[in-house]
Structure 1
């Protein structure tokens, strides 16, 4: 069984619609895929409607968190979408994304980059605006040759000339919100150095005490040393080890299934959730 627990669609900052993500997942030989768009569940229904035979969908979301000037991402799985508190926080997070996006565009214009808010929202196609949409607009404007070049101190990377901070959840509170909604929380790419996202072990231990389920260890941005360290840390803290592609479509080279989660870990995760269950395609599809 091949299980990928982290992917994105055009419901946030991926480049493929949810239906295409599901189709590609099955073509890549996946049996289980979690759709984890940023701070939204907007893609879940379209993904469910397009679910091909043989593929199971794990409804999820990637929550934006922040601590001491550092961005932290928390993967939330199988929570109750009707829970009142978690969706309310997601509304605040999405509203903060728009404020940040507008201010970022203003700063880029001040730096001589000919981008407009209208161009960015067109690229977002109705999804909450994220920095990847702005990066794509910068490519279209000829300011950079590749979206990855936007995420540097030169431009919109953390601490960069056009970087704008925004509201985000305290990560311990986020874990508690997910658990209160019957979901399971996994810390995304905790040792990814890109963008200053590598987190201290002490912070991870704090999240474990708050009820964290696992660490996303097998991730494309983790080298062998980081993976070995995270496996040992997960063992010490009693946390599960997951793996996932963190696919964003064209932006990440269509890498669905490049990293996977062990079936026994997936079974533990689904058993721990009380808010929702994985979704399989109707018989005969």
Structure 2
């Protein structure tokens, strides 16, 4: 069985990721996607939780508007490192925090273009209308379809839990006419909606994976262009990440740990997961951190009942660590030297301070996620030797991102880079 449309607690469902996995197993669903509204908070967790005998497809559902009316655009198989996609998610996340129980509605063209930029497939969700929405047919449907096609729509949700056989067949004709990938899903929300997992229509037909043509295309793309094992997200990921971006203090005599004393160039921000930063980057950033830089010296935590507590050294928790462009260049030079050594000889003693982190590479490789026993250092070293191209690729993408960031920052008059812990 298959289901490409469902929601977790990250948006408006009631199941945690692990609970959903258990229910998918009970329902006999082998191929699935989680498509939370306007957030990809469950994406990383599902990557690690999905059993080896299941196919998990990255998904999201953006709430959108066109000149005709509202619509929902599903995105499948995206690379979440891409800045255009990240900006879309950031925009959605900001609005969700401002509007507690309503979904953000923004231009459908923007959502479609962001999904395409990330190598994903944009799909029109429940085109005739979803739960609680006025149905759309005739001229209104055709106008909406034309707008979405012109924006780059590539798929359509022909199979949907509320649709009868006539509606499904009508949408299949639309898909054939416009050469769109066929998708389908239940729109499961746990206890918040009376829809069972795997329900892809209202008339009891069991829909096979072959009938959802989008799946074969997603498999092909993932095989030819797999996602980076270690990610460099060129946007602000609100999860457990380190955030890097150009900044400047408005007044160095005031607390440089306070966000209202900082100008931040958010358009150039990147996010690195805490574990990736600790495993592959921390030694270089620690080595080149300058405690005597005025902005670093003038950081303190202030509480009503306490005197000022000054922050010293590289701070790990929600405090900006400031670097000059010269210091960042020194970090990047060290990374490039590490790349040259690692590519030639993993046993080189110059990698001594890096070995502990490098040995965590198996934690990023799917085949080792579910091991029951901890790998020995020798076993980990063997795996790293065989897979070190993933680390080398991460370093290259990271260096390219930082150099691009510094170039943009310098052009805009920024003289510092902030490295802020999770």
Which residue in the other structure is 2:134 paired with?
196
Aligned pairs for 1:57-206 (under 5 A) are: 57-68=56-67, 70-101=69-100, 130-131=101-102, 167-192=104-129, 194-196=132-134, 198=136, 200-206=141-147
Which residue in the other structure is 1:221 paired with?
162
Do residues 263 (structure 1) and 201 (structure 2) align? no
Which residue in the other structure is 1:37 paired with?
36
Judge conservation of contact 2:188–2:195 (CA < 8 Å) in 1. Answer: yes
RMSD: 2.7
Aligned residue pair count: 221
Judge conservation of contact 1:79–1:275 (CA < 8 Å) in 2. Answer: no
Structure 1 residues 98-145: Cα deviation after superposition (integer angstroms, max 9, x where no partner): 3333xxxxxxxxxxxxxxxxxxxxxxxxxxxx34xxxxxxxxxxxxxx
Residues 57 and 76 of structure 1, relative CA distance in 2, 3 Å threshold: same
Structure 1 residues 137-157: Cα deviation after superposition (integer angstroms, max 9, x where no partner): xxxxxxxxxxxxxxxxxxxxx
Judge conservation of contact 1:218–1:244 (CA < 8 Å) in 2. Answer: yes
Judge conservation of contact 1:53–1:284 (CA < 8 Å) in 2. Answer: no
Do residues 241 (structure 1) and 182 (structure 2) align? yes
**Structure 2 residue matching 1:74: 3-state secondary structure:** strand
Hey, what's the Cα distance between the residues in 2 that align with 1:38 and 1:231? 25
Hey, what's the Cα distance between the residues in 2 that align with 1:281 and 1:4? 22
Residues 16 and 78 of structure 1, relative CA distance in 2, 3 Å threshold: same
Which residue in the other structure is 1:127 paired with?
none
Q: Which has the higher contact order (CA 8 A, sep 6+)?
A: 1
Deviation at 1:9, TM superposition (A): 0.3
Deviation at 1:59, TM superposition (A): 1.1
Judge conservation of contact 1:184–1:272 (CA < 8 Å) in 2. Answer: no
Which residue in the other structure is 2:234 paired with?
none
Residues 197 and 87 of structure 1, relative CA distance in 2, 3 Å threshold: farther
Hey, what's the Cα distance between the residues in 1 that align with 2:86 and 2:369? 34
Q: 5+ unaligned residues in a row in structure 2: which ranges?
A: 201-206, 229-364, 371-422
Hey, what's the Cα distance between the residues in 1 that align with 2:45 and 2:110? 29
Hey, what's the Cα distance between the residues in 2 that align with 1:100 and 1:256? 28
Deviation at 1:254, TM superposition (A): 5.3
Aligned pairs for 1:43-62 (under 5 A) are: 43-62=42-61
Residues 56 and 95 of structure 1, relative CA distance in 2, 3 Å threshold: same
Q: Which has the larger radius of gyration?
A: 2
Deviation at 1:224, TM superposition (A): 2.6
Deviation at 1:63, TM superposition (A): 1.0
Relative to the length of structure 2, the TM-score reads: 0.48
**Structure 1 residue matching 2:10: 3-state secondary structure:** coil
Hey, what's the Cα distance between the residues in 1 that align with 2:227 and 2:66? 29
Greater shift in the superposed pair: 229-238 or 202-211: 202-211
**Structure 2 residue matching 1:19: 3-state secondary structure:** helix
**Structure 1 residue matching 2:218: 3-state secondary structure:** helix
Q: 5+ unaligned residues in a row in structure 1: which ranges?
A: 102-129, 132-165
Residues 177 and 239 of structure 1, relative CA distance in 2, 3 Å threshold: same
Deviation at 1:271, TM superposition (A): 2.6
Hey, what's the Cα distance between the residues in 2 that align with 1:82 and 1:4? 25
Hey, what's the Cα distance between the residues in 2 that align with 1:251 and 1:281? 32
Hey, what's the Cα distance between the residues in 2 that align with 1:284 and 1:9? 22
Deviation at 1:202, TM superposition (A): 2.5
